[in-house]
Structure 1
Amino acid sequence: MYYVALRFMKDTMEAEDAMQEAFIKAFDKLHQFNGEVSFGAWLKRIVINKCLDRLKARKMELVAINEQVLGTVEDQEDWQVEDGIGIEEVKKEIENLPEKYKYPLMLYLIEGYDHEEISEILDISQVASRTLVHRGKKKLQDELKTLRNGTGY
């Protein structure tokens, strides 16, 4: 859970604080755990929510999206990066993305949440989740191409 918190908080002390607050909240809400998901998944979601709460408190607001203008974006199931690019390079490039893409993409690619879960965690619609993940993937691919080739083309 510490590493999950650290991915969001980027600071060991902040991650420890967020994790500790999440553990206290989990202990407080233990009676609400119903076994619908594994205990680890339940706890992980509490840790992520606590990290996001702390980030929001620091005025790191996510950009709202006008859903009427965007419409629905289909996921690309064939999304890939070039051979030779490792997970650490991908994680590093995700960190450099604008925040509006970084957190949805982290939740989707690294934490494995689906759009319904991301929409609940970030308090956005599923359409906004799909859009942010899609655009984040595109931007990430462009950055990884630049990293590998020196240009975006």
Structure 2
Amino acid sequence: MLTRIDHIGIACFDLDATVEFYRATYGFEVFHSEVNEEQGVREAMLRINGTDDGGASYLQLIEPIREDSPVAKWMAKNGEGVHHIAFGTADVDGDSEAIRDKGVRVLYEKPRRGSMDSRITFLHPKDCHGVLTELVTAATPEPSGDPEAH
């Protein structure tokens, strides 16, 4: 069962400048950052709030690090902006199978590693009214305390 909006992915040309915009404009701070070689992106997760299921909601800012990455290809057509929406689930495997059984194309045969060691898969945007949709199972319950420790 999908439990929350996990994050909204925003593609950007300059991660540092985009992070600074969200910090200066809205007061959002970086909770976690990493380079995901498999996805070909450098990213920053800005934590917005906690949720009833123990997770959180984030803005995920993503900058492509290779021209052949899916995000770079998407940006070549669309420029900067909202790239995808991600829903949190306790069981990405079960939920993606249930959604596949309803006729929606699931882009990965098996979930892959995502941000903060989560497990992820994507649903085809043509089957989701034009929205690239991600399903996310967090690696562990959200840590508390100093965000710089993550």
Please, what TM-score do these two structures have when normalized by structure 2?
Answer: 0.27
Q: More helix by proportion, 1 or 2?
A: 1
Bigger relative contact order, structure 1 or 2, given CA contacts below 8 A and separation 6+?
2
Structure with greater Cα Rg = 1
